[in-house]
Amino acid sequence: MVVELQCDEFTSLCPVTGQPDYGALTIRYAPRRWLVESKSLKLYLWQYRERGIFSEELVASIADDLAAQLDPLWIEVRGHFKSRGGIAIAATARRGVPEEGRGA
């Protein structure tokens, strides 16, 4: 089984300018024992609204936190952030590797 969660209205702050960064997150994982509860995930993601963090670091931090809490077979967090200064950023962090036949 693979679980996919999408957050299309994600916001954080640019650590340099303090301006808001807008983007979308996709979280995919193969649960071992635990599933993330959607309201808990929403509250966890809200902490980034007031946090200055680079997009790449943000995606890695979310992957690390969820991997530690859920202990999934594997997890992937993708972030697609809106363009600022003419450049959009997409970052992906993976923890574990999907195996063939696991529905990945």
CA dihedral 10, 45, 40, 2 (to 10 degrees): 70
| Residue ranges of domains in the chain, CATH in brackets | 3-82 (3.30.1130.10)
Residue-wise pLDDT tens digits, 8-20: 999 999 999 999 9
Residue-wise pLDDT tens digits, 48-58: 999 999 999 99
**14 noted as active-site residue:** yes
Of 21, 64, 65, 71, which is the active-site residue? 21
Of 7, 8, 14, 64, which is the active-site residue? 14
Q: For the whole model, what pTM was predicted?
A: 0.90
* Rounded-to-integer distance, Cα 96 and Cα 68, Å: 12
CA dihedral (43, 59, 69, 51) positive or negative: negative
